[in-house]
Amino acid sequence: MKGTPGLAVADMYKRFGAVRVLEGVTLRAGRGEVHAVLGENGAGKSTLMRILAGVIRADAGQVTLDGRPLSLSGPRDATAAGVRMVFQELSTIPQLTVAENLLYGRERTVLGLVRPRTRRRAARALLERFDLGRIDPDVPVAELGLGDRQLLEVVKALRDEPRVLILDEATSALSSTDSRWVLQQGRRAAGAGAVVLLVTHRLAEVREFADRITVLRAGVDVVSGAAGEIDDDALIAAMLGRRVERLYPERPAPGEEEAIRVSGLAAPGLPGPVDLIARRGEILGLGGLQGQGQRELLRALAGATPWTSGEVRLGGRDYEPRSPADALARRVAYVPEDRQREGLFLAQSVRRNMTAATLGQFVRGGLLDRRRENAAAREVAQTVGVAAARLGSRVSTMSGGNQQKVVLGKAILNRPAVLLLHDCTRGVDVGTKASIFALMTELAKAGTAILFYSSDLSELVHMCHRVAVVAEGRVAGHIDQAELSEDAILRLAVGHGAESKAVAA
């Protein structure tokens, strides 16, 4: 079945105002095939996927499915044709329960009424069908972590056995275990005869799960072929239009002076005790399976949630921030996992987002000194790689990678002593990742201590001096740079690693 006629896109064009997003894109993906669609943020991948899902209309082009023209005048057309898409930005309704989200618009009724018990039973059966019985169907989605919300999106897309399944950065917020689950579901769908389009920035996923690859650059398909025939260097060069000499920079040697010491810390969602030390210039990874307390630890240190016990020393002094603003005043900055919901003011300009956390620095006599604000924003924009010409643009108009650079710019404008990074490379392209890693390295050279959580274990292995593995809200142990590997992190995360090493390592 693999490779038989499936989905064909021919001469696809799309503009948004004066911006050309797609310029004659052609793509062919056979039934039973996992077809990876790669490219930088802004290359046109998501626009193409949204056209196929009926969310937006193409200016020109043809789409056929199994040799027949596919009408895509709206989402209903795509749904009727068997096209399902898992979006990078979540579509679940936070105020509704898991069951209500999974069965929204599909509930069985009796005399026009929905029976909650029947809906709950159907949702539970659906979750168990996909080995997600651990998720309570009665829990409001707002109470779930970002990863579990993404899993629900995948279940919604798979429940009707689609003919075309689009995974648009569906693994970007997930741990390695949950990412594998999503990709295995995609592989099963392909095995049942579906066309699976996989949009990802993780080349390891492409290598393991994709049959064929199409690379977009600036709205044009520049490379297409069998996955086994195109090596990683060629893929990266095709995506960027240039070669990247080194994705992961050399790690600078950390200093001896302690930047932050955490002793016996416990907080809501973090039973603890958590003990760790990060030195000046050290990149300390926070490893482990998703949802083990890494988020709660970073939020507590950032002043977003109070801790219930324990103590923290910052530069040798007591540290217990009352709020994120208090933490920033002590030069502890936080980059959250969900940039759009927690890190940005989408309706505001890039400039105002960059300076929002430290706006008080630019106020004199009760008035905002816009010249000083603009100068500071320009300087930090140059540091993180955002074009100065975009400072007046609404941040909502930028690609995901550039939005993440803005969040990072806001965090480092105050030259933090400690930088807390929660999955800061999620959903960004290879070029942006290289820029973020280079920035982390430069900050470490300047003495900033970085606590770095990533759902991509390879990033922890290649970027960190040490990794503290968090399991069930506690630090299960530390792994030194010489012994760092994905296997070592996972073994310690599931309780099969060596005994915990000295905290100060």
Least Cα distance to 151 among 74, 98, 103, 199 occurs for: 98
| Structural domain contains residue 144 | yes
Residues 321 and 184 in one domain: no
Residues 305 and 231 in one domain: no
Torsion angle defined by CA atoms of residues 451, 310, 472 and 276, in that order, rounded to the nearest 10 degrees: 40
Residues 290 and 422 in one domain: yes
What value does the mean pLDDT take over residues 317-344? 92
Position 179 pLDDT exceeds 90: no
| Structural domain contains residue 341 | no
| Structural domain contains residue 500 | no
Q: CA 137, CA 287: separation in Å to the nearest integer?
A: 28
| Structural domain contains residue 445 | yes
- Choose between 233 and 21: higher pLDDT: 21
Residues 212 and 296 in one domain: no
| Structural domain contains residue 409 | no
User: Angle CA(113)–CA(162)–CA(229) in degrees, nearest 5?
Assistant: 155
Residues 206 and 285 in one domain: no
Token reading at 302: 């950032």
Q: What is the pLDDT of residues 368-381, one digit of tens each?
A: 889 999 999 999 99
Token reading at 480: 């030194």
Q: What is the pLDDT of residues 54-104, one digit of tens each?
A: 999 999 999 999 999 998 889 999 999 999 999 877 778 888 999 988 887
Domain membership of residue 80 as a residue range? 4-240
Helix (H) or strand (E) holding 449: strand 449-453
Residues 166 and 273 in one domain: no
Q: What's the whole-model pTM score? A: 0.71
Could you tell me the CATH number of the domain that includes residue 188? 3.40.50.300
Q: What is the pLDDT of residues 229-242, one digit of tens each?
A: 998 888 888 988 87
Q: CA 415, CA 361: separation in Å to the nearest integer?
A: 13
Position 135 pLDDT exceeds 50: yes
Q: CA 433, CA 146: separation in Å to the nearest integer?
A: 21
Q: Torsion-angle region of residue 331: left (phi > 0), alpha (psi -120 to 50) or beta?
A: left
Residues 233 and 307 in one domain: no
- Choose the final residue of a domain: 208, 240, 272: 240
| Structural domain contains residue 396 | no
Residues 265 and 235 in one domain: no
* Angle, in degrees to the nearest 10, between helices 176-191 and 146-158: 10
Q: Could you tell me the sign of the dihedral formed by the alpha carbons of 2, 4, 6, 9, in that order?
A: positive
Position 206 pLDDT exceeds 60: yes
Tell me how many domains the chain contains: 2
What value does the mean pLDDT take over residues 280-304? 93
pLDDT reported for residue 3: 54
Q: What is the pLDDT of residues 397-433, one digit of tens each?
A: 887 788 999 999 999 998 999 999 999 988 788 888 8
Residues 132 and 262 in one domain: no
| Structural domain contains residue 55 | yes
pLDDT reported for residue 498: 46
Q: What is the pLDDT of residues 423-464, one digit of tens each?
A: 998 878 888 888 999 999 999 999 999 999 998 888 999 999
- Choose the final residue of a domain: 240, 274, 292: 240
Position 1 pLDDT exceeds 80: no
Least Cα distance to 196 among 26, 34, 376, 355 occurs for: 34
Question: Which residue stretches of 385-496 are H helix?
Answer: 400-412, 430-445, 457-463, 486-493
Confidence tier at 216 by pLDDT (50, 70, 90): very high
